[in-house]
Amino acid sequence: MRELIAGNWKMNMTRKEIDSFFEEFLRMVPYLPNEREVAIIPPFVYIPYVSEKLKGTTINYGAQNLFYEEKGAFTGEVSAEMLKDLGCTYVIIGHSERRKYFCETDETVNRKIKAALGKGLTPIVCVGETLEERESGKTFEIIEGQIRKGLDGVELSEPERLVIAYEPVWAIGTGKTATPQQAEEVHAFIRKLLKEKFGEISKDIRILYGGSVKPENAAGLMEMENINGALVGGASLDPVSFYRIIRYDSGG
Ligand code: PEP
């Protein structure tokens, strides 16, 4: 299975900052390992700008959200078809920041996943528990609910068309990372749920880890059996850190 390292830029970067990111990053691109897939997920407005920068490379790009309706009077929203039209491969769905600040629920996540798949986009579906939920022993219950409701009625013929990201909320942007063992425990549980739902192909569905991934901790996480890549927030804004995470096994 080809590991995926995706950089979620969140609400960061201007054109000037994107210019300086790529000035440095593109110099390192020839040294990226072929067996690893890389994607950059900028804010909506910069998708065309980033796609221009990536021309001639094998790096993919995507969006941080979409709206599930096809078109119409939904001011401020962006559809799956629009993202496809811009050449996006991926779309993040159900990021914990969207669940927390923008009323995203398992039901809206479910509709968005279906809209993405329906237009040929690959959703990166985020799940994860809060600190309170972890401390009260509810991690597996929460993950199970998010996976089951999020994927309700979703059909999948090819495993590479769906990516799951386990992002413990307490580890996002906090500098606290789950230990490789803590993460693997949840990843293995997600794999089991995917197997119940999709059968044999589930062994090839990529499950990314996200939550304060850095060059220093990437290798330990990525060597776990059910961790098939990373969703990187803060560290993906710096070209050297992002590059070193992608090359986690070669000491950067
Ligand atoms: C994220 O945005 O998905 C994320 C994991 O952020 P960070 O790496 O900054 O914790």
Reported confidence tier of residue 251, pLDDT bands at 50, 70, 90: low
Count CB neighbours of 30 within 10 A.
7
Nearest CA to ligand 1 atom 1: 233
- CB-CB neighbours of 213 under 10 Å: 28
Distance from Cα 73 to the centre of ligand 1, integer Å: 32
Atom of ligand 1 nearest to the CA of 10: 2
Summarize pLDDT for 200-229 with one digit per residue, the tens.
999 999 999 999 999 999 999 999 999 999
Dihedral class, residue 208 (left if φ above 0, else alpha if ψ from -120 to 50, else beta): beta
pLDDT tens profile 5-20 = 999 999 999 999 999 9
CA distances from 9 to 75, 105, 116 (A): 23, 22, 20
Task: Tell whether ligand 1 has an atom less than 6 A from the beta carbon of residue 8.
Answer: yes
Mutate to test the pocket of ligand 1, among 5, 8, 170, 244 (most ligand atoms within 8 A of CB): 8
b/e map 48-80, b = 16+ CB within 10 Å: ebbbebbeeeebbbbbbbbbbeeeeeeeeebbb
Residue nearest to atom 8 of ligand 1 (CA): 233
Domain ranges of the chain: 3-250
Q: How far apart are CA 249 and CA 252, in angstroms?
A: 7
pLDDT at residue number 176: 84
List of residues 6+ apart from 55 with CB closer than 8 A: none
User: What spacing in Å lies between the alpha carbon of 35 and ligand 1's midpoint?
Assistant: 23
Give 126's strand partners: 165
- Residue that has been written with the tokens 């979409």 in this structure: 66
Mean pLDDT of 232-241: 98
pLDDT tens for each residue of 68-119: 999 999 999 999 999 999 999 999 999 999 999 999 999 999 999 999 999 9
pLDDT tier for residue 250 given thresholds of 50, 70 and 90: confident
> Is 95 a known active-site residue?
yes
Mean pLDDT score across all residues of the chain: 96
The predicted-structure confidence for 44-54, as pLDDT tens digits, reads as follows: 999 999 999 99
pLDDT at 174: 86
Instruction: Find out whether the beta carbon of 210 lies less than 6 Å from any atom of ligand 1.
Output: yes
CA distance 116 to 65: 10
Residue 121: pLDDT over 60 = yes
Contact in structure between 61 and 35 (CB atoms under 8 Å):
no
Q: What is the CA radius of gyration of the chain?
A: 17
Helix segments in 32-127, DSSP class H:
47-54, 80-85, 96-101, 106-118
Per-residue confidence band for 185, with pLDDT thresholds at 50, 70 and 90: very high
Neighbouring-strand partners of residue 164: 125, 207
> pLDDT value at position 175?
83
Read off the pLDDT of residues 150-173 as tens digits, 9 standing for 90 and up. Answer: 999 999 989 999 999 999 999 988
Query: Which residue among 95, 104, 129, 187 is the active-site one?
Result: 95
Question: Quick one: pLDDT at residue 59?
Answer: 98
Q: Which of 196, 182, 181, 184 is nearest to 226 (CA)?
A: 184
Distance CA 218, CA 215 (A): 5
Tell whether ligand 1 has an atom less than 6 A from the beta carbon of residue 233: yes
Instruction: Judge whether 191 and 202 are in contact, CB under 8 Å.
Output: yes
Whole-model pTM: value is 0.97
Q: CATH code for 3-250? A: 3.20.20.70
Position 28 scores a pLDDT of 96
Name the β-bridge partners of 6.
Answer: 39, 231
Annotated active-site residue 167? The verdict is yes
Does the beta carbon of 169 lie inside 6 Å of ligand 1?
no
